[in-house]
Structure 1
Amino acid sequence: MFVDIIFSIVIGGMVGIVGHVRKHGKIIMPRKTKRFIYLGFLEELLLGAVAALILTVYTAPNSLVENILFSVIAGIGGDSVLTIIKLLNQTEKNNE
């Protein structure tokens, strides 16, 4: 089970990075501004890894193929969550 968890974190993080590159066209490095710290590609990496970890622990895949499939799905889902949050923030700013 421990190997499955580590494997799912790595796969989910990689899918998160691929989603970041797909969205921005390049890897954006973390940086600190006066108001906040922008995580850059680490934001998608961490979200994809955590989503894959949660899905793997919850479902307990029986084979390596299931583990890869669940990790990829979770990584894509993490990217979707970030997109929805950004859309909600934009519509909230437009309504004000």
Structure 2
Amino acid sequence: MLTDIIFSLVIGGSVGIIGHVRKHGKMVMPRKTKRFLYLGFLEELLLGAIAALLLVLYTAPNSFVEITVFSIIAGISGDVVLYRFKLLNQNSEEK
């Protein structure tokens, strides 16, 4: 079970980083401004890894192929969640 957890974290985090690079064209490093801490690529890495971990723990897959597929799906869905939050923030600012 520990290998499943580690494998899902690595795959989900990797998919999060790939989504970050696809979106920004480069890896944006974390930085701190006066009012805000911007996590950069770490934000999407953590979200993809945690989403993959939760999905794998919830479904309890039987093979590494299932773990890989579930982790990729969870990593992509983590990217979609971040994109949705960004759209909601833009819509609330326009009003």
Tell me the equivalent position of 2:19. Answer: 19
Give aligned-pair identity as a percent.
Answer: 72
Cα distance in 2 for residues equivalent to 1:67 and 1:75: 12
Tell me the equivalent position of 2:39. Answer: 39
Q: TM-score, normalization: structure 2?
A: 0.99
Deviation at 1:76, TM superposition (A): 0.1
Deviation at 1:21, TM superposition (A): 0.1
Runs of 4+ in structure 1 displaced over 4 angstroms? Answer: none
Instruction: Summarize deviations over 1:47-75 as a string: whole Å, max 9, x none.
Output: 00000000000000100100000000000
Unaligned 5+ segments in structure 1 are none
RMSD over aligned CA atoms reads: 0.3
Tell me the equivalent position of 1:90. Answer: 90
> What is the SS of the residue equivalent to 2:62?
coil
Cα distance in 2 for residues equivalent to 1:48 and 1:64: 18
Tell me the equivalent position of 1:76. Answer: 76
Aligned residues: 95
Q: TM-score, normalization: structure 1?
A: 0.98
